[in-house]
């Protein structure tokens, strides 16, 4: 199986899942902003830059739609670049709490999408930790 891990701070929450998938011989590719966290053996990491937005300011995307838009555009361009190079994942693993993965199904419509749903919001007084 070919798996794309899409996380702005790869491996993030996918550290153990990615290592287990690599140990089982799956073809793994990651798309992340530099610098990534831990190296995971057997995974090709591709980088994209979130534009003028510093990575530590990425949480501001919830409050500032323009910040999220810039990050999403840069991530989408990087994904289209992977596709242009012939990469087609069977499964895309992304984080539902950030906007960057919003259009991945537009890039690879036949891929299955696994969202890491870390954040749960209330209708009133919703805050992000």
**Domain locations along the chain:** 2-116
- Residue 48 pLDDT > 60, yes or no? yes
pLDDT at 102: 81
Q: Write out the CATH class of domain 2-116.
A: alpha beta
CA dist., res. 45 & res. 36, Å (int): 9
The arithmetic mean of pLDDT across residues 116-126, rounded, is 66
| Range 121-124, long-range pairs (CB < 8 A, 24+ positions) | none
For residues 98 and 4, the model is more confident at 4
- Residue 96 pLDDT > 50, yes or no? yes
Per the prediction, the chain carries an average pLDDT of 80
Core vs surface per residue 51-67: b (16+ CB within 10 A) or e: eebeeeebeebbeeeeb
For residues 21 and 119, the model is more confident at 21
């Amino acid at each position: 199986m070919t798996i794309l891990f899409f996380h702005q701070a790869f491996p993030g929450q996918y550290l153990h899942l990615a290592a287990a998938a690599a140990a089982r011989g799956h073809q793994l590719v990651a798309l992340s902003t530099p610098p990534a966290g831990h190296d995971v053996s057997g995974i090709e990491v591709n980088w994209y830059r979130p534009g003028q937005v510093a990575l530590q300011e990425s949480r501001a995307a919830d409050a500032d739609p323009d910040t999220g838009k810039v990050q999403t555009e840069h991530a989408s361009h990087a994904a289209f670049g992977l596709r242009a190079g012939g990469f087609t994942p069977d499964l895309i693993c992304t984080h539902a709490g950030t906007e960057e993965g919003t259009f991945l199904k537009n890039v690879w419509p036949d891929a299955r999408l696994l969202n890491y749903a870390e954040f749960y919001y209330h209708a009133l007084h919703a805050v992000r930790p």
